[in-house]
Copies of this chain bind each other. A is one copy, B any other.
Amino acid sequence: MSQKIRLGAFLPGAGQHLAAWRHPEAQVERVFSFDYYKDLAQTAERGLFDAYFLADSLAANFGGPLNSGRCDKGVGFEPVTLFAALATVTKHIGFIATASTTYEEPYQLARKFASLDLISNGRAGWNVVTSAGDAAAKNFGRDQQLDHQERYDRANEFVDVVKKLWDSWEDDAFLRDKETGVYFDPDKVHRPNHAGKHFSVAGPLNAPRPPQGYPVIVQAGQSEPGKELAARTAEVIFTAQQTLEDAQAFYRDVKGRLAKYGRKPDELKIMPGVQPYVAATEAEARAQYETLSKLIHPEAGLALLSALSGGEVDLSHYDLDGPFPDLPRTRGLLSRQQMMADIARKHGFSIRQLYEWVAGARGHWTIVGTPQQIADQLQLWFENEAADGFNIMPPLLPNGLNDFIDLVIPELQRRGLFRTQYEGETLRENLGLPRPGNQFEGRQRASRAA
């Protein structure tokens, strides 16, 4: 298999743009309907995307007071149940669901992803997040979130426990010999008996080993502990990068951390987020962008900036068209907060200009142009060690997804940069990732249950 661009489809509700739902062509009345997501998933599969990606928050996180009612984000389906359902109406596309290491239990998480991987015949991925922000904490018995380092400590151990649980049963543990009455081979079941700083989990898991061995592990942290967690455990990184140079630096940085964990550069695919505005002419593409910007209500814009800083920044007392102020650092999403401040300084943005900029791609790379211009940019990053693929974040759904598939995908295919059919059966195979071995195999005597 020759090396191709990997593509994820990031498809939330009416679209990634904050004001997408207000667009005349947005199908916002369908966003609580399963059929809407069925259409999106089948469309993404038509486009030969590797995976459908869903972000997630453990709070109805509108970023501030609920008084304005102007934001559509944060209320809807739970990703794993939605993907289990979508798996039945698709054949090839993978499903990357976000789930939290801070507020879930490893046993339940391992099990539900094993179940999703079974239901989809090996098309599941887990986006490992630590759920920043106090809003989620307050839904789970805490006044405020754990601090950054502790969240990542816990995340590292959590991923280890989950992998042990997925390895509870060897791939060929189930004999089902009707004659002898032996259902499974007791030498091929392993109790993790994990006892660590954050978790004590005996096991074995009450699910067989997932078809992919492990569902694909995805990570999106940009902080130092986030990058280290990714280098140690992730197979895909979803990252926000603005320029070729920054993306190359990030790519070198993270790929350079793999060797110390005994991993090869190819075992981790780096996929920056991209928000494409594509049309036959650049002017039309730009008009799409402007149309959406004008639909942002100021209250929604401010709530967004607050949400991105973990719900702790209140900008409502500043002049919307004045400069973005210096704010104290919070315990929340440090990397996102820093990015906002950097962007505002770099471009000399007012508060309004900043939220218009953030409202589109939430700090991800935005490309506006013709199919050729967009393909040029993606090719440039792909061929210059800035990206192994991209997570495509259409501003407006379903239009933006259809535009990308109808206009950009054929251009990438003509250039030999993208598949013309799915190569494999599983998400792992399509991404070109190896199926992991079972860490307990060959260690039956030492670790199996008494």
Contacts and interface: CB of A to CB of B under 8 A. Distances in A.
Interface residues of A, number: 86
Interface string A53-73: 000011111000111111110
A85 B87 contact: yes
Interface stretch (A42-50, A199-207, A325-333): A199-207
Interface in A14-36: 19, 21-24, 26, 28-29, 32, 34
A153 to B, nearest CB: 16
Contact of A65 (B26, B175, B450): B450
Contact of A112 (B24, B34, B59, B78): B78
A80 to B, nearest CB: 6
Contacts of A140: 105, 107, 201
A84 interface: yes
Contacts of A72: 176, 183
A21 B176 contact: yes
A183 B119 contact: no
Most buried by B among A82, A183, A185, A300: A183
Dominant SS at the A interface? loop
A82 B104 CA distance: 19
A118 interface: yes
Nearest to A57: B206
Interface string A105-116: 101100110111
Nearest to A59: B206
Copies in the complex: 2
Given A68-B186, A69-B183, A206-B58, A82 B81 contact: no
A178 B22 contact: yes
Contacts of A141: 105, 199-201
Interface string A171-211: 00011101001111110010100000001111111111000
A89 B38 CA distance: 13
Contacts of A199: 141
Nearest to A450: B65
A88 B78 CA distance: 16
A85 B119 contact: yes
Contacts of A405: none
Contact of A208 (B57, B75, B82, B135): B75
A84 B23 CA distance: 30
Interface of A: 19, 21-24, 26, 28-29, 32, 34, 38, 57-61, 65-72, 74-78, 80-82, 84-85, 87-89, 103-105, 107-108, 111-112, 114-116, 118-119, 121, 135, 138-142, 168-169, 174-176, 178, 181-186, 189, 191, 199-208, 295, 297, 300, 448-450
